[in-house]
Amino acid sequence: MNSGIDLQGTFIESLMDLGLPLGAAKAIWMPLPMLLMIIGATVGVLVTVWLERKISAAAQQRIGPEFIGPLGVLAPVADGLKLIFKEDVIPAKSDPWLFTLGPVIVVIPVFLSYLIVPFGQNLIVSNVGMGVFLWIALSSVTPIGLLMSGYASNNKYSLLGGLRAAAQSISYEIPLALAVLAIAMMSNSLSTVDIVDQQSGYGILGWNIWRQPIGFLIFWIAALAECERLPFDLPEAEEELVAGYQTEYSGMKFALFYLGSYINLVLSALLVAILYLGGWEFPIPLDAIAGWLNVSPTNPVFQVVTASLGITMTLLKAYFLVFTAILLRWTVPRVRIDQLLDLGWKFLLPISLVNLLLTAALKISFPAFFGG
Amino acid sequence: MMNFLKQVGDYVKEAGQAAKFIGQGLSVTFDHMKRRPVTVQYPYEKLIPSERFRGRIHFEFDKCIACEVCVRVCPINLPVVDWEFNSATKKKKLKHYSIDFGVCIFCGNCVEYCPTNCLSMTEEYELSTYDRHELNYDNVALGRLPYKVTDDPMVTPLRELAYLPKGVLDPHDLPAGAQRAGLRPEQIVAATPAKTDSTKESNAS
Amino acid sequence: MTLAEGVQLVSTIILSVMMIGAAIGVVLLSNIVYSAFLLGGVFISMAGLYLLLNADFVATAQVLIYVGAVNVLILFAIMLVNKRQDFAPMPKAWVRRGATAMVCAGLFALLSTMVLATPWSFSTTVPSSAGAIKAIGRHFFTDFLLPFELASVLLLMALVGAVILARREFIPESAVTDLQATPLTLPERPRELVPVGGTPSQEESK
C-alpha cells in the first residue's frame, strides 16, 4: 500500500538524527505541507487567472495580456499588487465587523479543502478518513460568508446577490453530494487516496468517468454552479445586480473574494480529476511500463519519476477542466434564476438520484466492475 | 403509464438535444481559438482610414465666402462664422471661423453643402484632450492638415478589411503591391467608357 | 504531558470559550442577524469539540447540516423578512426577565447535578474514523431503525407542508369574479396597490 516516496517519514527521521525528539520533529514537519499547499493554491490561482485571460482573448480573437512579462504571465501578479495597494473602503452605513468577516469566511473553507487533495500516494496534506465529505461540509460554510457580506454592505444589490449565492449553493450542494456518494459507494471509502487507488491498475480504462459518465456531468455542472462560473454566475450578474455581494468591496477584501472564487474553481477541477479522471494515474499504468523496461518498482529514480509524473498528471487533468470551464464561459449564456433553480431541483436532483440507484444496482449485480 | 413513459422519453430527448447544442457551441468557440487575433495594436499599428472616412473637418479660410450655409445645414447650428460687411468691396469679410468638435457629430452636412468647397473631411480621429474646450477649433486649427498614418515612421499602417486582397483576413505582412478585391474606381471608369453618358442622362431624368 | 496533549487541552479551552461566548451572544444581542451569525459560531465550535473527541464524521456532519443548511436557512428567513422595528419598552419587564433567569438557572442546576452524578468512564478502545461510519450506518438500520425512519417521515411531512404553503395557486372565487369584470387584466391574486402621490404618513402608519 505504502509504495512511493514518504517525504514525511524521511524528513522526521532526518530531524531525529539531528537529536530532536519525535514530537518536535513532527511539529516542525506539520506546517510545511500546509504552507506549501497555500502557496501552491495561490500560484495555481495566478496561473488560472492568466489562462482565463489568454483563453478568453483567444476565443474572442484578441491577444490578451502581452506586455507584462513574457506573454503577459505577470498580469495576474500586477492585478494582485494593485488590489493590495488599493484603499480599503468600508461604506459609511455598513456593518464594519460583518463586512470584514464576510470575505474571510468565504476564503478560509476553500483553503481548508485543499487538505484533502492528493497529488500522489503520500503527497497529501492529511489523509482524513472523511475525505470528500469534508470538502462538501466545508463548501457548505461559504454561503454564510456570502450572506454576511451581502447583508453587511447595506446595499440592495449586495443583499440580493448574497441571497442568490446562498440559494444557489444550497441547491447545487445536493446533486454534488449525491454524485460524490455514488463514487464513494463504488470505492467503499470517502478518502480521496482510496478513491484514486480504486481507479488505478488499468490505466485510462479504469477511471471512474467510464463507470460514472452521468455522475461526472452532474458533478461538473454542480461544481461550476458552486464556483459561480459563467453559465451560473447569477450572484454577480453585472446587468442586474452590479456585482452582487461584491458591489461594495474594494482592495484586499475584494481580492479575497476573487482569490476565493478562483481557488474554488481550481479545487473543483482537481476534485473532478481525482474522483473521475484517476487522480495522479498516468493513462497507461506505470507499473506495466516499469515491467516492460525491466525497472523494479522500488528503484528510487523510478519512484521520483512516478511522483513528479503524478503531480503533473493531476495538474494537467485539473487544468484541462479549467480550460473547458473557460470555454464554456464563452459558449453558454447566463441562465435566469428560475432556470437555474429548475435545473438544480428538477433536472440534476432526479438524475443524480437515478444515477445513485443505478450505481447501487450495478454494484450489486457486477461487483467486479463497480467495486465489491 | 404510456403517457408517463412518453414524457420521460421526451425529457431525455430534450436533455440530449440541449447537450448537443452546447457541444456545437463549444466547437464554435474552440474553432475561434485557432484563428489569428484581429487586434490592431493601436499606438504602434493603425488602420488606414477609408476614402470616405468622416474625421475632423478641415477648413480653408481664404475660400470661405461667409455664406453661413454650413450653419444652416448643421443639425445644431454649430459652426461659428464671424464676419463683417466690407462696404468698400461690397463683400462679406470673414474674421473668424470655428467648430467645436466636442459637440460635432461628424455628420458631414456642412461639407456636403459648402458652395466653395472650403470645408472637407480629413482622416484624423485622434481627438483626445484634457479639457473639452480644447476641442473648440478656430480657423487656424481647422486649417492644419493631419499627419498621414502611412507617412508616420513610428506607425505600422494596416489596411481595413474591405481593402484587403480577396480571401485575406489578416492585414499583417501583406505582400508588396497586393491589391484589394474588385476593381478600383478608375478601372471601372476605363472599362465602361460608352455607357457613361447614357447613365448620366438617365440619372438626370 | 506531551505536545499533542497540550495542544488538545488548549484547543478544548479555546473552543469551549468560543462556544459559550457565542451562545451568550446569541441570547443577549438585540440584533437578530448577529444572533443568527453567532449561532453559526456555536455550531462550528461544537464541531471542533467533536473533532477533538475523535468523532470526525459527527463533526463533519455537524458542519454540513447545522452550519451549511440550518443556519443558512435561518439567515435566509431573517434576511427575507428583515423588518427593523424597535420594541416598545414594556412595564414590569424585569418580572419576565427574572422568571426566565430562574428557569434557565434551574435547568442549568439540573444538568450540572446530572453531569456530576454520572460516573463517567474513560473508554480505552482506540476509535477509528473509518469504522465509525459503518457503525453509525449499522445502528441506523438495525436497532435505531424506528427513530431514523420516524425522523425521515417527519422531514417528509415538513417538506410537503412547505410545498403546499409555497404554492398557493388557487385564486379565491370572489377575486376571480372581481377581475373578470375588468377586461385586459391577467387573473392574478389582487395585491395592495401602492398609493401614488399619496401622503407618506399613511404608509408609515401601516
pLDDT tens for C62-80 read 888 888 888 888 888 888 7
What distance in Å separates the CA atoms of residue A127 and residue A117, rounded to the nearest whole number?
A: 9
Q: Give tens-digit pLDDT for A39-71.
A: 888 888 899 999 998 888 888 888 888 888 888
Q: A145 and A323 in contact (C-beta within 8 Å)?
A: no
Residues making up the annotated binding site of B for [4Fe-4S] cluster are 64, 67, 70, 74, 104, 107, 110, 114
Least confident piece of the model among A101-115, B158-172, C81-95, C177-191:
C177-191
- Whole-number pLDDT of residue A372: 56
C194 pLDDT band (50/70/90 cuts)? low
Contacts A–C by Cβ distance under 8 A? 75
Q: Which of A114-123, A179-188, A199-208 has the highest mean pLDDT?
A: A179-188
Residues making up the annotated binding site of B are 64, 67, 70, 74, 104, 107, 110, 114
Is A170 in contact with C63 (Cβ distance < 8 A)?
no
User: CA nearest A221 in B: which residue?
Assistant: B19
C4 closest CB neighbour out of A23, A141, A170: A23
- Whole-number pLDDT of residue B75: 92
Q: Give tens-digit pLDDT for A11-20.
A: 777 877 777 7
Least confident piece of the model among A359-363, C34-38, C91-95, C110-114:
C91-95
Contacts of A163 by beta carbon, 8 Å cutoff, 6+ apart: A147, A150, C76, C79, C80
With a cut of 50, say whether residue C122 has pLDDT above it: yes
Is A144 in contact with C63 (Cβ distance < 8 A)?
no
Distances (CA, A) of A291 to A201, A300, A305, A308, C180: 13, 15, 15, 19, 83
- The percent of residues above 90 in pLDDT, for chain A, comes to 4
**Interface chains of chain C (3 or more CB pairs under 8 Å):** A
Task: Give the B window 35-64 contacts with A, CB below 8 Å.
Answer: 35-39, 41
User: CA nearest A61 in B: which residue?
Assistant: B37
Q: Give tens-digit pLDDT for C160-174.
A: 988 888 777 655 555
Q: Chain A within 8 Å of B29 (Cβ-Cβ)?
A: yes
Q: Measure C99 CA to nearest chain A CA, in Å.
A: 33
In chain B, domain spans: 50-149
Distances (CA, A) of A267 to A115, A121, A139, A231, B61: 11, 18, 11, 18, 69
pTM, full prediction: 0.77
Q: Let me know if domain B50-149 sits in CATH 3.40.1350.10.
A: no
Q: A279 and A196 in contact (C-beta within 8 Å)?
A: yes
Mean pLDDT score, A359-363: 88
With a cut of 60, say whether residue B199 has pLDDT above it: no
Task: Give the A window 200-229 contacts with C, CB below 8 Å.
Answer: none
- Where do runs of H (alpha helix) occur along chain B? 2-33, 69-73, 109-113, 139-142, 185-191, 195-204
Is A58 in contact with B32 (Cβ distance < 8 A)?
yes
- Whole-number pLDDT of residue C86: 65
Is C60 in contact with A130 (Cβ distance < 8 A)?
yes
With a cut of 80, say whether residue A202 has pLDDT above it: no
Q: Give tens-digit pLDDT for B100-145.
A: 999 999 998 999 999 999 999 998 888 889 998 999 998 899 988 8
For chain A, give the longest Cα–Cα distance: 71
What distance in Å separates the CA atoms of residue C159 and residue C193, rounded to the nearest whole number?
A: 32
- At which residue does the C-alpha cell 395592495 appear? C192
- Whole-number pLDDT of residue B98: 92
Is A55 in contact with B25 (Cβ distance < 8 A)?
no
Is A63 in contact with B41 (Cβ distance < 8 A)?
yes
**Which residues of chain C neighbour A145 with C-beta distances below 8 Å?**
none
Q: Give tens-digit pLDDT for A214-244.
A: 889 899 999 998 888 878 887 777 777 777 7
Distances (CA, A) of A243 to A57, A155, A161, A202, A266: 22, 11, 8, 47, 22
Q: What is the average pLDDT score of chain A?
A: 83
- Whole-number pLDDT of residue C130: 62
Q: C58 and C50 in contact (C-beta within 8 Å)?
A: yes
Q: A147 and C29 in contact (C-beta within 8 Å)?
A: no
**Interface chains of chain B (3 or more CB pairs under 8 Å):** A
Is A330 in contact with B29 (Cβ distance < 8 A)?
yes
Cα dihedral sign, C146-A350-A337-A217: positive
ipTM exceeding 0.95, yes/no: no
What distance in Å separates the CA atoms of residue A238 and residue A230, rounded to the nearest whole number?
A: 11
Mean pLDDT score, C124-148: 78
With a cut of 70, say whether residue C1 has pLDDT above it: no
Q: Measure A51 CA to nearest chain C CA, in Å.
A: 32
C85-91: long-range contacts at Cβ-Cβ below 8 A with a sequence spacing of 24 or more? none
- Whole-number pLDDT of residue C84: 63
Mean pLDDT score, C31-53: 88
- Whole-number pLDDT of residue A2: 44
Q: What is the average pLDDT score of chain B?
A: 85
B18-22: long-range contacts at Cβ-Cβ below 8 A with a sequence spacing of 24 or more? B22/A328, B22/A331, B22/A332
Is B29 in contact with A57 (Cβ distance < 8 A)?
no
Is A141 in contact with C67 (Cβ distance < 8 A)?
yes
- The percent of residues above 70 in pLDDT, for chain A, comes to 97
With a cut of 50, say whether residue A267 has pLDDT above it: yes
Mean pLDDT score, C140-144: 87
Is A163 in contact with C79 (Cβ distance < 8 A)?
yes
Q: Give chain C's contact residues with A (Cβ, < 8 Å).
A: 2-4, 33, 37, 40, 44, 56-57, 60-61, 63-64, 67-69, 71-73, 75-76, 79-80, 128-130, 133
Torsion of CA B4, B8, B10, B16, to 10 degrees: 180
Mean pLDDT score, C136-157: 89
Q: B16 and B8 in contact (C-beta within 8 Å)?
A: no
DSSP-derived secondary structure for C71-125: IHHHHHHHHHT----PPPPPTTHHHHHHHHHHHHHHHHHHHHHHHHHS------S
A335 pLDDT band (50/70/90 cuts)? confident
Q: Give tens-digit pLDDT for B148-159.
A: 888 888 888 888
Contacts A–B by Cβ distance under 8 A? 36
Is A23 in contact with C68 (Cβ distance < 8 A)?
no
**Which residues of chain B neighbour A61 with C-beta distances below 8 Å?**
32, 35-39
Mean pLDDT score, C3-21: 87
B195 pLDDT band (50/70/90 cuts)? low
Mean pLDDT score, A353-365: 89
Q: Give tens-digit pLDDT for A272-313.
A: 988 888 878 777 777 777 778 777 767 777 777 877 888 888
**Which residues of chain A neighbour C33 with C-beta distances below 8 Å?**
98, 151
C186 pLDDT band (50/70/90 cuts)? low
User: CA nearest A346 in B: which residue?
Assistant: B11
Cα dihedral sign, B68-B71-B74-B79: positive
Q: Which of A288-292, B174-178, C141-145 has the highest mean pLDDT?
A: C141-145
Is A328 in contact with B26 (Cβ distance < 8 A)?
yes
